[in-house]
Every structure is written in C-alpha cells, then in structure tokens.
Amino acid sequence: MNKPLVALLSGAGISTDSGIPDYRGPNGLWRRDPEAEKLVTYEYYMGDPEIRRRSWRLRRENHVLGAEPNTAHRAVAELAEAGVPVRVITQNVDGLHQLAGLPARKVLELHGSARSVLCTKCRARGPMEDALARVAAGEADPPCLECGGILKPATVMFGENLDPVVLGEAVAVTKACQVFIAVGSSLQVHPAAGLAGVAADHGARLVVVNAEPTPYDGLADEVIREPIGTALPELLRSLRGN
C-alpha cells in the first residue's frame, strides 16, 4: 500500500521550543516592538544606514545560528526516515528542519534563509557567520566584499516578492499531497497561508496544529491546540502506518 504524500507547512511556532521567538503570537516581536518591523522591511533597510546597523546588532543578539532543532523538527525528519514521502514548506528562515536531518531537497524555504547573506547589487552570497564576525570586529554595516554593495540576509523582507520557483514548487506539492499539516503558523501571511485552502480544495486532509485560532480552522479536518512539541510527534507517528 502506497503511503500518502505529506506536506507540512511550518511557521514560527514550530521553532519557539528552540528558543526562537515568534512574531505574531501573544508575546511576538511585532506585538512587543512595532518598530522592529522596519528592520526587516526592504525599503527602510536599503534607505537608512541606521536601520541596517540596528539590524546587524539584532542579528548578533538573536542567536538564530546557535539554535538547535527540537522534538517537532526531529519528528518530521523521522517521518521521512520511516519511508513516508514528506515535503516541508516553511515560512521559517532558521534552517532547523535541515539540521534535524531532513534532506535539503525536501525543504522549500518560502522566506529564504537567515544562514546566508546576499548582496543586493551583485547577488553574491556568503555565510551569515562570516558577516556577523565582521560586525563583531567593528564593521557596523558590512558591505559586500565583491562589489561594495549593501548586504542583507538571504531572507525575503517585507516589500520583497517570494522566489517564484520556490513558490511554484510549494503550490505543486500542495496540490499533490494527500495530507497537509499546518503547524505553528498563524495562517495570516499570504501567499503561504493560502496553501492551506489550496490543499483543502484539492481533497487533502487538512490538519491545523497551532496555539491560537487561524482563518483556516473552519476548513480543517482536525484542529489541534496542544503544545507542538508533543502534539506534532504524536500526529506524525500516526501517519507512519506501522
């Protein structure tokens, strides 16, 4: 018997147990400090050197690169290891699905990766660790070493479009899957949020695992409010068909 294709849309909530705060939850960064949104808005970032300097300081302080995968990330990797076809579509930029052991080819990073930097002029890429080392050494706003252009994290900022190739692959996976699990996502940021509706429209079993209500709960076959660290591993074990 063929095992169902499982598509998992992961949002910030899956990584909070790894010490990475969410943005829109009750204690989220945007609710606590609305000004922080400017730091990841392309127009402000490109036009204001002080915004860039604050952004680099924040990156040094937020320790995303030091975060470790938690039980939920590991449960997804274990599902794949058990032979169940899995594709992760993530709104996160932390790379923790891959660190947990899920092959990079099975992860679609809709919002890019905070583990790399990108030059806005020549498009050269490099490790975020190297750029942060330059900040630590005294470069408040390190320019591109290739052309002198402005460096930014290889993430999709507010005001930037998603990579159309990655988004296209995500839509294709969503239409093809038999089970679609939205975990730790507010399902408010489009186009990612709309994938839940696409999955339901194409006959997938839709499961929402999130602490707070989402706009797609009414379409879901199952809504789980339990903590992700225990609820997701339990749910995924049931999909193994052992």
What are 47-103's pLDDT values in tens digits?
Answer: 999 999 999 998 888 767 888 999 999 999 999 999 999 999 999 999 999 999 999
- From the candidates 63, 111, 190, 202, which is the catalytic residue? 111
Cα distance between residue 56 and residue 59, in whole Å: 5
| Burial of 169 per CB tally in 10 Å (0-12, 13-18, 19+) | middle
Q: How confident is the model at residue 27 (pLDDT cuts 50, 70, 90)?
A: low
CB-side exposure of 95: number of CA atoms within 13 Å? 15
- pLDDT at position 33: 65
Active site residue 111: yes
Q: Which fold has domain 27-66+113-155?
A: SIR2/SIRT2 'Small Domain' (3.30.1600)
Whether the domain at 1-20+69-111+161-242 and the domain at 27-66+113-155 fall into the same CATH topology: no
Superfamily for the 1-20+69-111+161-242 domain: TPP-binding domain (3.40.50.1220)
- pLDDT at position 31: 55
Evaluate if pTM is beyond 0.85.
Answer: yes
Domain boundaries, the chain: 1-20+69-111+161-242, 27-66+113-155
